[in-house]
């Protein structure tokens, strides 16, 4: 394939040959017209070649920077795992007023980010034992979480009943719930699971649960904001809540507003102790040098003594 410079050289050589001959007859005029057409064609070819080369260069650069962002996200996961493994006493963890998990009480403002090469990464760590287990939560607990998030009451009835229908083993739907007859009538049909949730994101398959409800929405002229419920649920662990690392909404749903408030006061005063946790979720985002390209990875790890096992992995997180 000729390079851009070679095409230019051919064009200039042809022009020198043609225009060095005197046009004293009609054949000269025809030759001039032909040369002009040849020049137009060559310009089009050179332009297309130049454009395709620029496109390929941009694609290559974007692919390279996306891969770099992914590797930076992986570096954040490894940094988070190291932070958990180096924890002096996991039972003294607590969540501060900004819902940040404090693993080492001596380090009240952990800097969970770093620079590496031309890019950077940042990550969060969340205690899964501080969340409500979707597979054993009661109707009252589920209702409280959705109500506290700002979901409308009529939608809550449908969602809670449908959650119970999704996780029970029979094919009889509750008053506002749904079974196979509903799910198989959708544009993209599927069956009701009739079994336990495997991941919290499975909620998005349940009747009434929209991405806005799961991930959250911002307020606008027509609707109030919804606090995404996804962050309050888990499927890991025995279901016993670690009150020192649970959000206030989860505490209120499980033990009531009064005890929840007392617990928040105690942990903010540095009296957290005795929490039992072994499952943690890590969400790490890697970015290129100017922040225009990023990749996010989510992992759930199980920590037992000085060993750590990844039990869930998703490297296609949007955000």
pLDDT at 311 over 70: yes
132-240 sits in which CATH class? Answer: mainly alpha
What is d(CA 22, CA 15) in angstroms, rounded to the nearest whole number?
13
With bands split at pLDDT 50, 70 and 90, how would you rate the model's confidence at 181? very high
What is d(CA 238, CA 103) in angstroms, rounded to the nearest whole number?
21
pTM of the model: 0.78
The secondary structure element, H or E, covering residue 133 is strand 132-133
Strand partners, 299: 282, 313
What is d(CA 198, CA 215) in angstroms, rounded to the nearest whole number?
18
Query: Three-class SS of residue 195?
Result: coil
Q: What pLDDT is stored for residue 204 in this prediction?
A: 96
pLDDT in tens, 26-66: 566 677 777 788 888 888 888 887 878 788 777 777 778 88
């Amino acid at each position: 394939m000729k390079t851009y410079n070679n095409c230019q050289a051919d064009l200039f050589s042809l022009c020198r040959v043609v225009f060095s001959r005197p046009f004293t007859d009609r054949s000269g005029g025809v030759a001039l017209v032909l040369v002009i057409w040849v020049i137009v064609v060559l310009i089009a070819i050179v332009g297309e070649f130049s454009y395709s080369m620029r496109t390929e260069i941009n694609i290559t650069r974007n692919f390279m920077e996306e891969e770099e962002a992914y590797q930076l996200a992986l570096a954040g996961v490894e940094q988070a795992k190291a932070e958990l493994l180096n924890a002096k006493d996991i039972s003294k963890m607590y969540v501060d007023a900004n819902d940040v998990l404090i693993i080492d009480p001596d380090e009240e403002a952990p800097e969970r980010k770093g620079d590496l090469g031309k890019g950077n990464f940042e990550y969060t760590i969340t205690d899964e034992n501080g969340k409500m287990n979707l597979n054993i939560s009661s109707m009252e607990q589920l209702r409280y979480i959705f109500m506290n998030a700002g979901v409308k009451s009529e939608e809550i009835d449908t969602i809670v009943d449908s959650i119970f229908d999704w996780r029970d083993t029979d094919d009889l739907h509750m008053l506002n719930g749904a079974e196979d007859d509903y799910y198989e009538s959708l544009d993209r049909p599927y069956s009701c699971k009739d079994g336990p949730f495997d991941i919290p994101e499975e909620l998005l398959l349940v009747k009434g649960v929209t991405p806005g409800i799961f991930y959250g929405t911002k307020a606008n002229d027509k609707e109030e904001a919804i606090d995404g419920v996804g962050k309050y649920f888990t499927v890991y662990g025995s279901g016993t809540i670690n009150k020192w690392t649970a959000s206030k909404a989860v505490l209120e749903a499980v033990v009531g507003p009064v005890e929840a408030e007392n617990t928040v006061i105690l942990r903010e005063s540095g009296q957290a102790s005795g929490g039992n946790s072994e499952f943690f979720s890590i969400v790490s985002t890697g970015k290129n040098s100017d922040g225009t390209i990023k990749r996010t990875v989510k992992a759930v790890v199980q920590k037992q003594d000085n060993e750590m096992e990844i039990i869930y992995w998703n490297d296609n997180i949007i955000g």
